[in-house]
Amino acid sequence: MVQKLLILGIESSCDETGVALVECEVGSDPEQVPELLAHALYSQIVMHQAFGGVVPELASRDHIRRVIPLTQEVLAAADCRLSDIDVVAYTRGPGLAGALLVGAGVACALGAALGKPVLGVHHLEGHLLSPFLSADPPRFPFVALLVSGGHTQLMRVDGVGRYVLLGESIDDAAGEAFDKSAKLMGLAYPGGPLLARMAEEGNPKAYALPRPLLHSGNLDFSFAGLKTAVLVQSQKMVAAAGAPSFEALPRVQQCDLAASTQAAIVDVLVRKSMTALKETGLTRLVVAGGVGANRHLRSQLNEACTKRDIRVHYPELHLCTDNGAMIALAAAMRLQSGSQQASAHYAFDVKPRWPLDTR
């Protein structure tokens, strides 16, 4: 029997509160892509900027303030009532424990009050499936390059819930490499997008920075050494110019270091992705996570994939970073594929650390 389901998705794993409504059909074509009806987002970035990074306790408290108004906002935008919701999905992990507890608590309370089942979603699965909401959705199987603030992973994806880890960062994630390098350059948190903007004005070959683990013979990444190399290079530049700080250097020099840093990160991500495609023999690449918004990464991947006749898929730009749409979508795709059922047990836990390939 074909059943239409309205799914409310709540994301609260870090510093963004995201809520969305997705509609899907269960019992029909399992490959039918669910429809995003509405989504709303509140970013706490400005609040955390004063501290140079996310303050977990402030994040939790702010999720409490935002989650109900955002839910009301998406219901109004989709012209739906609370009682129309069939399933309440929430991010169960990984992420900040307190922040996750807010979303899980609200989702399970809502489910209990409405008498509707709930479903806990893996945050990275949300990112990984988010390109299905784009104008050019992928098909299984594919290689996924997950590049967020907390994770850098290459996965083989054969279907919903069928994930094999091929390689991952052994220290900093790609997003962290962007953010920490940006901090060294005096840019505000999270500096990734700001560094990327400066990089567009700079010369990516100006400074030779290391490409860690490029020839390691496996698909793991390491970005901690790059951050140190950026620090050493910036100190050399400041000393050579007799400047009081990196920010006091001529803009062209700052942009050149930004471009060289971005080029080093992107180079490693592109080359390892191509190796993963070659080793698996797959011909589709899906890029997901906040760093997937990076324009240089997209242009380099497009070029490398075109050469090898590989199809590459990205999430819509506004769905690259954390959002509720990907959580509602992942729940919808799990229900459609039959790989997970929603539950009417409202006791909940969260999983701050939770590998995606061991569900």
Per-residue CA distances from 64 to 15, 56, 143, 197, 340 (Å) = 12, 13, 36, 33, 28
Site for Zn ion in 271-330 (CB under 5 A): 322
Q: Tokens 């608590």 correspond to what residue?
A: 105
- Cβ at position 173, least distance to Zn ion in Å: 10
Query: Residue 175: which residues within 8 A CB-CB, separation 6 or more?
Result: 147, 148, 149, 150, 152, 190, 192, 289, 290, 291
The residue (of 26 and 330) whose beta carbon lies closer to ligand KG4 is 330
Is residue 56 within the footprint of ligand KG4 (CB under 6 A)? no
d(CA 224, CA 94): 21
Is residue 130 within the footprint of Zn ion (CB under 5 A)? no
Point out which span in 156-164, 190-198, 241-249, 343-351 binds ligand KG4 (CB under 6 A): 190-198
Is residue 289 within the footprint of ligand KG4 (CB under 6 A)? yes
Point out which span in 51-59, 60-68, 192-200, 339-347 binds ligand KG4 (CB under 6 A): 192-200
| One residue of 12, 17, 60, 148 binding ligand KG4 per CB under 6 A | 148
Is residue 130 within the footprint of ligand KG4 (CB under 6 A)? no
With CB under 5 to 8 Å by kind, the binding choice for 98 among Zn ion, ligand KG4, none is none
| One residue of 98, 103, 190, 202 binding ligand KG4 per CB under 6 A | 190
131: preceding bond cis by omega (within 30 degrees): no
Site for ligand KG4 in 166-185 (CB under 6 A): 175, 178-179
Site string for ligand KG4, 309-338 (x = CB under 6 A): ------------xx----------------
| One residue of 290, 305, 312, 348 binding ligand KG4 per CB under 6 A | 290
d(CA 234, CA 213): 22
Query: Residue 114: which residues within 8 A CB-CB, separation 6 or more?
Result: 82, 83, 85, 88
| One residue of 12, 60, 71, 148 binding Zn ion per CB under 5 A | 148
Is residue 294 within the footprint of ligand KG4 (CB under 6 A)? yes
Site for ligand KG4 in 58-97 (CB under 6 A): none
Contact predicate 212/268, CB 8 Å: yes
| One residue of 9, 105, 120, 150 binding ligand KG4 per CB under 6 A | 150
The residue (of 173 and 213) whose beta carbon lies closer to ligand KG4 is 173
List contacts with ligand KG4 (CB under 6 A).
14, 127, 148-150, 175, 178-179, 190, 192-193, 196, 289-291, 293-294, 321-322
List contacts with Zn ion (CB under 5 A).
148, 322
